[in-house]
Structure 1
């Protein structure tokens, strides 16, 4: 799972200014030095690196644009040595990590790779962008040019997906900057307990789940959910969405972070698909928390079940 780690820090005002400017896509003009978003067949053995292009293709062509080169100080450089980023480079380009340990590339696409989480179980996977993106604090994530990693995670993790999470209830999550150990963006695809699913449905039935993003941060839609790790109750802001087609990072930035003057780097996000008694649905509970809330948390690890 995750431990404490550090990446590039950025003041809140700087993030807000950049995220606002990036909304129009103006900063993407300098994308020439960005990390490759190309995908290659998973390499095997000591095969030579395949010839991946070094420039991202325009969005809409099956590949997402990557953060432009002048944002490397905020989102990471392709030459960084983060172990998870090295695993991505092995899966997409055949570059063997300096450690010599080759990861098991469960799925490799133009936008992301899927890897085992730790501990390695049938309900603990990671979806990791093929772009160099350190984590939730990267302002490129709130632009319209970024791939919808949350939707891709759900499509892989759901029953019938390419890398299904074998657990009665599924949860997706991302940690804050301070609560993670590896500094390459990764969405956990894991399980959640039945009690978590029931709690969220009870809250919705009692009008305690925000029906639209603009209300997400309201106090009425903040509620305690008991952790699966025995850590007790934690407070989350809870939103209901009918699809995952929207950019969850942008929704969080606009309706919570900027609204309350918070740091994007300090946020955690958890997605729990609603599972009614009649069968799966396309409704999703989106939970957010941080240390500014009473009994808040900046990690998704309290709710997700990995082991």
Structure 2
């Protein structure tokens, strides 16, 4: 009788353990299922927030993501390369092998914005030059001289994004060689109607003999003050090329609807540095 009671007790105890184990397993499986569903929710959320490059606000949305991530903990510039919250710009990869973009953290549609053409405006070109020297030169060791790289911004008609962006990359060797050849003829400090044909388009060119692109040397300011009453900043496209012996060449070209010409100084850039 005692043995029977012992067996009954043991069976009850084992049965209880089995029930407890089964309950633990069910809870464990439920936890795994809940975690999986949560992860899937986050994946779907991330997918729904994927940026569409065909959207004309793609770059602006990208800037906003970069700023938000830089303000997070820990701070990180993703999906940009660099975020400068104090000076209000970011650096991002472009669509070509050795192409980088400088973009304001403020909403600025493009070259036509009057606020960027003042002598005391944020010196985006100065920042772009400093960042080009950092990123382009580190990417391509053969780029050793300042006349091998440069900057460009396209006209309103030639762009496909409505957030101001300055392209940073190498300069086509044929362009830099032509500028060096005509260096002594290029007027210093003003455009003075000096014209060169580069990459099948005409460019009005001036020279700066100092190494500043800020204040009165801001290319937006220089181009804007050179325009006639019938000309518009929206139609302009600007390039900045380093001058080997110091300073810069500032180039401008203008869209012409009658000729179907949409000004894009970006064409002067060698965005895979293949000609260097």
TM range (shorter): 0.5 to 0.7
> Do residues 222 (structure 1) and 187 (structure 2) align?
no
Q: Residues of 1 paired with 2:158 and 2:150: CA distance?
A: 18
Runs of 4+ with >6 A deviation: 293-296
Per-residue CA deviations over 1:166-221 (Å, capped at 9, x if unaligned) read 3631020000011001110000001112221110011123x1x12122xx1x33x1
> Do residues 287 (structure 1) and 223 (structure 2) align?
no
How far apart are residue 103 of structure 1 and its match?
5.6
- Aligned match of 1:303: 268
Worse-matched range after superposition: 162-171 or 196-205? 162-171
One of 84, 94, 104 as aligned partner of 1:117: 94
Q: Secondary structure at the match of 2:204?
A: strand
TM-score by length of 1: 0.60
Per-residue CA deviations over 1:223-275 (Å, capped at 9, x if unaligned) read 112x2xxxxx21100010123232211111111x2x35201101000000012
Q: Residues of 2 paired with 1:296 and 1:222: CA distance?
A: 17
- Tell which structure's C-alpha radius of gyration is larger: 2
Q: Residues of 2 paired with 1:171 and 1:117: CA distance?
A: 14
TM-score by length of 2: 0.66
- Aligned match of 1:212: 189
Equivalences for residues 177-188 of structure 1 within 5 A = 177-188=156-167
Q: Secondary structure at the match of 2:155?
A: coil
- Aligned match of 1:20: none
Number of equivalenced pairs: 201
One of 158, 172, 183 as aligned partner of 2:151: 172
Alpha-carbon RMSD across the aligned residues, in angstroms, is 2.8
Contact 1:87 1:103 survives alignment (8 Å) = no
Q: Residues of 2 paired with 1:130 and 1:180: CA distance?
A: 19
Structure 1 gaps, min length 5? 1-44, 47-79, 96-101, 228-232, 276-280
More helix as a share of residues: 2
Equivalences for residues 25-104 of structure 1 within 5 A = 82-94=57-69, 104=79
